[in-house]
Chains A and B, each alone.
Chain A
Amino acid sequence: MSDNRQLLADMAEGLFAELSDADFAGAWPRLAEAGFSTLLVPEEKGGFGGDWVDVLAVLRLAGRNAVPAPVAEPILAHYLLARAGIDAPEGFVSIAAPGRRVPWGRHADWVVSVEDGKASLHAADACMFVEGVNPAGEPLDAVSFTGAPIASAPCDHDLAALGAFARVAQASGALEAAFALAIEHVNTRHQFGRALAKFQAVQQAMAEFSEEAAAVDAAAAGCAAALDGLDEAGFEIASAKLRTNLAIDRATPIAHRVHGAIGFTMEYALNRYTRRLMSWRSEFGNDAFWAERLGRQVAALGGKGLWLEMTARSDRLIDAA
């Protein structure tokens, strides 16, 4: 890990841990002050000048600390604005992927949408929100634009894909946090005269849990490398999102099972992670969406073409290293 990335991670870790019980009003100013929003904005444009591996490191920590405020959305919004050459405004900018709700929309000062090859910046007073929340209780608001955007510019980025990557990165952290809780619990909770961890059935379940968390870590890292090293990372993002969803399907039941009723209470921390994981599974595209998109892409490549494409893509990352 580069020195810069380590500093970034240390700063994020410290701040996120403090924010885990905050609300939006308490958390956002601290996040804004820390400057995460400009993580992907080049230094010459006043940003942090980071890459997608940096984004993964920060979002993973956000997921691990269940930060109850938008970390990913402003990073993506400012990235798109910089890429499209639109001057970034002050305040919280969220994102509107085509046909999808806007995370934390009601709190946004601005919204960036990407549709039909065009990025647009909308002021909050030109947005009408129908408020809703995700299973974790976080705002997820449907938007319709009631006025013209402040600015528009050509943009060939797939916002749903970038959003999906963000959820993969957050999920990798949330799974680690849930795993750490489960490990702690099975090591300390005694039943039938011994620690839960001493039961072979529990050991096997925890091993399975670790495998799923490992798969998400690998998928997230592979995805970040592809975003940094390839022109587009649609193949990798679709794969990583699908694999992450599978891991959530397999791992969250184990997390709850080994905790028993304790893990089902509002008081105990597990639900902070598992309710978010449940929601992230379908935010920016559910299994059917990504599986069909990836499946069609692969079908067009043909049977042998799949291997040729997959290896050609990863070989280009060797050259980039």
Chain B
Amino acid sequence: MQIFPIRPFNPPGDIPALRQQVRDLVARHESRWQLETRANPWFSFDAEFSKALGAAGLLAMNWPKAYGGHERTMLERYVVLEELLALGAPAGLHWIADRQTGPLLIRYGTEAQKRKYLPGMARGEIYACIGLSEPNAGSDLASVRTSARRTPEGWRVNGQKVWTSGAHRSHAALTLVRTEEGSERHAGLSQLMIDLDTPGVTVRPIVDMTGSHHFNEIFFDDALIPLDALVGTEGNGWKQVTAELALERSGPERYLSSHMLLVALIDAIGPDPEPGIAQLIGRLTAELWTLRQMSMSTAAKLDAGEDPVVEAAIVKDLGNAYEQALPRLVQAAVDADLAAKSDLSRLLVWLLVQSPSYSLRGGTPEVLRGIIAKGLGLR
């Protein structure tokens, strides 16, 4: 009973050339990026870069060509993602559409929905966000109360979403709503693809503790949403949402969020470090390398059609713990002047304050360990 059987990561094609393509593209754009923009890169925005990725065929890589995709493999896409993150390229604008919303539409959407959204997403021009959490329904997503009532004119949507990352820069929100009056928990939920410029839909910012604006509230005030905005089957929303969670949990974004700080640390201490700092770099490298093995193996399982729910939760929990610990370990080991303007100091301060968010997004350690315990048959 091996807990984490390994599947080799064997993407087709010329992988070094694919990496070089990403590295060259990043090199052409990076002069305009602030240091802070490059840290936690899948939460940083640059529309011009997102479009450049689309034009280079590096978005929607495994989607059908009919919808603007490139019919390459998930594993080639994985290589592009890990390069973008490790190089600190702001990839946040298109991230959710490319990772989650697009694939979900391909699987469950109508032909009209696919035509409407996918080609723009593939070009890096249409962005999406995920309307899940609500006031009083954070980790417990099934207690959704936002309602959608079917009328001859369309869905009448009322309620509120919260903690919606990137809604202020998104064109549409794939929103989990209660379509069956009086239903409870996982039953009676459906997904609507709601254009955020619809009358009655209001997006309001929530400024986070870093001073940044990523989170939003979305208010639905009797908004009239076309009937054909229903994605998949009415009442099947919970299943559709959870089916994609393994995709979300095991990616390289779960351990590379602080990578630019490790890069800065290595550069700051130079080629002949004192033993204590050398040891810290060695230990961090060991964790980084192991997490990459685990994440690649999980990607290979997903690519092979397996459903590695437990493995994905393990990758996310260990990965978040590593990327969260990195800033405080650097702070503990290096006598960095937090008020200084050096690269190391700026990244350290920025990521120290960012890092509590890592284990919130996509499930807390307690939620993930609950999933693992279930997989182990303990609950």
State the CA gap A59–B318 with chains docked (Å): 25
Q: Are A291 and B278 in contact (CB under 8 A)?
A: yes
State the CA gap A312–B16 with chains docked (Å): 7
Q: Are A218 and B4 in contact (CB under 8 A)?
A: yes
Q: Is B243 an interface residue (CB 8 A)?
A: no
- Given the interface contacts A299-B278, A310-B289, A315-B19, does A214 sit within 8 Å of B266 by beta carbon? no
List CB contacts (< 8 Å) of A278-320 with chain B: 287-288, 290-296, 298-304, 306-307, 310-312, 314-315, 317-318
State the CA gap A146–B279 with chains docked (Å): 36
Q: CB within 8 A of A315: which of B15, B262, B366?
A: B15
Number of residues of chain B lying within 8 A (CB) of chain A: 62
Q: Is B263 an interface residue (CB 8 A)?
A: yes
Q: Are A219 and B290 in contact (CB under 8 A)?
A: yes
Q: Is A76 an interface residue (CB 8 A)?
A: no
Known: A243-B287, A302-B267. 17 other contacts (CB 8 A): A176-B1, A203-B373, A207-B317, A207-B373, A207-B376, A210-B372, A215-B318, A243-B286, A291-B279, A295-B277, A295-B280, A295-B283, A296-B272, A296-B278, A298-B266, A299-B281, A310-B289
Could you list 25 A-B pairs, sorted by A, with CB under 8 Å?
A183-B378, A206-B378, A207-B370, A211-B372, A214-B294, A217-B3, A218-B290, A219-B289, A221-B297, A222-B6, A225-B8, A236-B289, A240-B286, A241-B286, A242-B287, A243-B287, A288-B279, A290-B286, A295-B279, A295-B283, A298-B281, A298-B282, A302-B266, A302-B267, A315-B15
- Mostly, the B contact residues are helix
Number of residues of chain A lying within 8 A (CB) of chain B: 61
State the CA gap A315–B376 with chains docked (Å): 33
- Given the interface contacts A176-B2, A243-B290, does A303 sit within 8 Å of B273 by beta carbon? no
Q: Is B125 an interface residue (CB 8 A)?
A: no
Which residues of chain B are within 8 angstroms of A306 by Cβ–Cβ distance?
Answer: 262-263, 266, 285
List CB contacts (< 8 Å) of A215-237 with chain B: 215, 217-219, 221-222, 225, 235-236
Q: Are A318 and B11 in contact (CB under 8 A)?
A: yes
Q: Is A180 an interface residue (CB 8 A)?
A: yes
Q: Are A321 and B8 in contact (CB under 8 A)?
A: yes
**Which residue of chain A lies nearest to B256 when distances are taken between CB atoms in the complex?**
A307
Q: Are B373 and A299 in contact (CB under 8 A)?
A: no
**Residue from A211, A215, A236, A304 with most neighbouring chain B CB atoms (10 Å):** A211
Shortest C-beta distance, B11 to chain A (Å), equals 7
State the CA gap A300–B11 with chains docked (Å): 30
B contacts, CB < 8 Å to A:
1-6, 8-11, 15-16, 19, 82-83, 86-87, 259, 262-267, 269-273, 275, 277-283, 285-290, 292-294, 296-297, 311, 314, 317-318, 366, 368-370, 372-373, 376-379
Which residues of chain B are within 8 angstroms of A290 by Cβ–Cβ distance?
Answer: 282, 286
Q: Are B289 and A221 in contact (CB under 8 A)?
A: no
Q: Are B272 and A299 in contact (CB under 8 A)?
A: yes
Shortest C-beta distance, A204 to chain B (Å), equals 5
State the CA gap A306–B372 with chains docked (Å): 32
Q: CB within 8 A of A222: which of B2, B15, B83, B293?
A: B293
Q: Are A217 and B6 in contact (CB under 8 A)?
A: yes
7 closest cross-chain pairs (CB), A and B = A295-B278, A291-B282, A214-B4, A295-B282, A303-B263, A242-B286, A207-B369
Q: Is A208 an interface residue (CB 8 A)?
A: yes
Q: Are A211 and B285 in contact (CB under 8 A)?
A: no
State the CA gap A187–B317 with chains docked (Å): 24
Q: Is A190 an interface residue (CB 8 A)?
A: no
